[in-house]
Amino acid sequence: MSEVRVRNLSLAYGATKALDDVSLDFPDGQLFGLLGPSGSGKTTLLRCVAGFVFPDHGSVMIGGESVERVPVEKREIGMMFQSYALFPNMSVADNIGFGLKVRHLDKPEITRRVGESLELVHLEGLGDRRPHALSGGQRQRVALARAIVTRPRVLLLDEPLSALDKALRSEMQVELRRIQREVGITTIFVTHDQEEALTLSDQIGILRAGRLVRSGAPRNLYHVPQDRFTASFLGEANFFDGKPEQGGLRLASGTLLPWPGQKVEGIATLAVRPEEMTISAAGPAHGNETCAISGELVRISFSGPTALCLVRGEGQQFSVLVKNSELTEIPVSGPVKVSWPAARSMPILD
Amino acid sequence: MSQPRGIFRVLGRGYVGLVLFFLYAPILVMALMSFNASEFYAFPLSFTLDWYRRLWGNADIVASAWRSLWIAVATTAIATVLGTAAALALFRYEFRGKRLLQSLLFPPIAIPWLIIGTSMLIFFFWVGIGRGTPAVILGHVALALPYVIVVVAARLQTFDPQLEEAARSLGAGQWVVTRDVTLPWIASGVVAGALFAFAVSFDQFVVSYFLAQPGDATLPVVIYTAIRKGFTPEINAISTIIIAVSMAVMLAASRFFKFGGER
């Protein structure tokens, strides 16, 4: 068992709180994504687990063992850095074998395990190359192989894919996921890219200004965000503020947005994802099930398969995502009706 | 980079030529005269190695040359180790008073050697070391240290600290990290710093003059004493040798350390 637990972690640099009472469980064998804007404390949290920084308060447990007094080199972690940090004076094989050499394994065993790792990351035959003679994607694979060849208890990834271009990044996302599953290692990775977090993670923790905002499975967080920050940081969201009534949320214009299924009384904000909304020419509203507001189409930004429509209504602006094929059915500008199923409104508690 | 044109190109080349002329003409004349048979620098030049032969027979000069050499080697060894360690401490780690120490590093380079020499003499007598070879080596090390630190630190600026973190995450302790990751990266800077230290010590006159005992002076001091007694082409010969050694050292240093940054 090598789950990682942090409890009540706090760390301040002068007046700024890098971490503010963070408690999280990183389950055994799962891939856990730490997501947040820069300065949210996600990297600091990762470095606390690694042992590069020490918290002012709180504890870090790896596999049930408290590691506060254990230095980095004795924590049995594997870490992959944003810059990959491959040793430029060593060959690919020596880079991967470094952790084994440090552990005084004998030469044939090192060679065997380095060979296995090269195979795992699909870099057979490149062991003699120097890091500078590799492409970005290859370097990334070497860094990953080096981090896991020592069979660490936990794998830590600091913005692992941010240095790659977009096409290579999605390819490496798949690779990373495959290798992580094959090795079955508890993995914590830091990213500021919400799409990457959604794609890769078994679980996501969202941080903001040193505090853990929410954590949970990607789909759950996306569909039931509960707070404004999670709703807008994980994907896009339109917010509607109003006065709660018996039947729903009364907006300032008088429009009533019916409550989404479950009993949510006293909620003053509903959020709706742009892709849940439909846009059509202005007309009478139908059915009690549907939320509908009228507005004015301001702008359409076309982006290939989809287009984002900017609509002004209810005293604010909001966006509606439509499929390319639906574009022909809506007016180019002027009064429109935007509607969505009431069940798609997400209650925002803060 | 664009090339200057027309008159500016000519002027530029002329200027570079002049600079090189002023730098090297005296040295070339001296080197030539060390091979001239005439003691009074008469032309035409008639080639001879006499002065070098006489030099070899001059026990004072030969002995002081060996002394200078081993003092320079000792200075190099001590200053390189201390300077590299200091550069690592000053530019890789955080500690109290770091800024102050960093800023105190450079002023000694600007203090005139005459004054440094005098103050060292006073200080060494005050603490009981007095004059002699240990004092000379201590003095040379003190002079060479800032140069080593500056050169090694310049190389350290390009070092990615994540390399050390990566090594630690792989289970390497402090010593292994330094040996296998940090030192290989700064090696070229360390070698360049060592060559600087050698040059500073081997060419040092003022501090050696103050700190050496009359019996065991270094080569530059012996040359100075000889010139005071009367100038002979022997001096040209030994000076030519010193220049050849110093230039070889600095050319070697420039291979490891790019003056004026990367090109």
pLDDT value of residue A262: 66
Enumerate residues 6+ apart whose C-beta is below 8 A from A64. A1, A3
Q: Which residue among A73, A82, A146 places its CB closest to the CB of B168?
A: A73
Determine which of A46, A76, A102, A114 to mutate to test the interface with B (most B C-beta atoms within 10 Å): A102
B/e letters for A189-227, b = 16+ CB within 10 Å, e = fewer, are bbbbbbebbbebbbbbbbbbbbbbbbbbebeebbeebbb
Q: Which of B165, B168, B184 sits opposite A89 (nearest CB)?
A: B184
β-bridge mates for residue A24, sequence order: A6
Q: How many CB atoms lie within 10 A of CB B182?
A: 20
Instruction: Identify the residue among A87, A139, A159 best suited for mutation to test binding to B, counting B beta carbons within 10 A and taking the highest.
Output: A87
pLDDT at B2 over 70: no
Per-residue pLDDT of chain A (350 residues; tens, 9 = 90+): 589 999 999 999 888 889 999 999 999 999 999 999 988 999 999 999 999 999 999 999 998 899 988 999 999 999 999 889 999 989 999 999 999 999 999 999 999 999 999 998 889 889 999 999 999 889 999 999 999 999 999 999 998 888 778 888 888 888 889 889 888 999 999 998 888 899 899 999 999 999 999 999 999 999 999 899 999 998 899 999 998 888 888 888 888 888 887 666 678 899 999 999 988 877 665 555 588 888 899 888 888 889 899 999 888 899 999 888 777 777 777 888 888 988 889 999 88
Q: d(Cα A301, Cα A279) in Å, to the nearest integer?
A: 14
Closest residue on chain A to B183 (Cα):
A89
Chain A with chain B: Cβ pairs closer than 8 A = 60
Rg (CA), chain A: 25
Query: Hey, are the CB atoms on B168 and A72 less than 8 Å from each other?
Result: yes
User: Which residues does A297 contact at the CB level (< 8 Å), separation at least 6?
Assistant: A279, A309, A310, A311, A330, A331, A332, A333, A334, A335, A336
Q: Tens digit of pLDDT for each residue in B7-52?
A: 888 888 899 999 999 988 988 888 888 888 777 766 777 788 888 8
Q: Are B173 and A73 in contact (CB under 8 A)?
A: yes
Record the tokens describing residue B203, joined without a space: 């060419």
Can you state the percent helix, strand and coil of chain A, rounding each to 5? 30, 35, 35
Q: Which two tokens stand for residue B222?
A: 């012996």
Given an 8 Å threshold on Cβ–Cβ distance, is B166 in contact with A89? no
**Chain B contact for A85, CB < 8 A?**
yes
> What is the residue type of A149?
V
How many other CB atoms sit within 10 Å of the CB of residue B30? 16
d(C-alpha A335, C-alpha A281), whole Å? 7
Q: What is the ipTM of this complex?
A: 0.83
Token pair in block for residue A140: 């990334």
Chain A: nearest CA to B263, how far in angstroms? 19
Nearest-by-CA chain A residue for B176: A102
Pairing type for strands A77-80 and A154-158 reads parallel
Cα distances (angstroms) measured from residue A168 to each of A138, A141, A268, B214:
11, 12, 43, 73
B61-85 pLDDT, tens digit per residue, is: 888 889 999 999 999 999 999 999 9
Please give, rounded to a whole number of angstroms, the shortest distance from the CA of A74 to a CA of chain B.
6
Is residue A43 within 8 Å of A35, Cβ to Cβ? Answer: no
Strand partners of residue A248: A258
| Residue A158 identity (one-letter amino acid) | D
C-beta of residue A261 within 8 angstroms of C-beta of residue A294: no
> Residues A39, A95: contact at Cβ < 8 Å?
no
Angle ∠(B217,B220,B222) on CA atoms, nearest 5: 50
Look at strands A334-341 and A290-303 and give their pairing: antiparallel
Rounded (10°) CA dihedral A300, A304, A305, A308: -20
**Which amino acid does the sequence have at A70?**
V
pLDDT per position as a tens digit, B127-138: 988 888 899 999
Q: Where are the alpha helices (DSSP H) in B203-262?
A: 206-211, 219-229, 233-256
- Strand A256-258 to strand A248-250: parallel, antiparallel, or no bridges (unpaired)? antiparallel
The pTM for the full model equals: 0.79
Tokens of residue A90, six digits: 């060593």
Question: What is the structure's pLDDT at A286?
Answer: 57
A320-350: burial string, b at 16+ Cβ within 10 Å, e else: bbbeeeeeeebeeeeebbbbbbbebbbbbee
Q: What whole-number distance in Å separates Cα of residue B39 and Cα of residue B61?
A: 19
- Scored b (16 or more CB within 10 A) or e, A262-288 reads eebeebebbbbbbbbbbbeeeeeeeee
Name every chain A residue with its beta carbon within 8 A of the beta carbon of B181.
Answer: 87
Is-contact A249 A240, C-beta < 8 A? yes
Taking a C-beta distance cutoff of 8 angstroms, is the pair A117, A49 a contact? no
Q: A161: Cβ–Cβ under 8 A, 6 or more apart, which residues?
A: A140, A169, A172, A173, A176, A191, A193, A196
Instruction: Say what the pLDDT of residue A305 is.
Output: 87
The pair of three-digit structure tokens given for residue A342, joined into one six-digit string: 């009431």
- Structure tokens given for B104: 């105190």
Mutate to test the interface with B, among A48, A52, A62, A72 (most CBs of B within 10 A): A72
Residue A293 forms beta bridges with which residues? A338
For the record, the structure tokens of A79 come out as 């870490």
User: Distance from A215 to chain B by nearest Cα, in Å?
Assistant: 27
- Name the nearest CA neighbour of A203 among A40, A30, A45, A28: A30
Q: Distance (Å) from the C-alpha of residue B163 to the closest C-alpha of chain A? A: 5
Contact predicate A183/A144, CB 8 Å = no
**Which residue in the set B169, B172, B176 is minimally distant from A50, CB to CB?**
B169
Cβ of B131 under 8 Å from any chain A Cβ? no
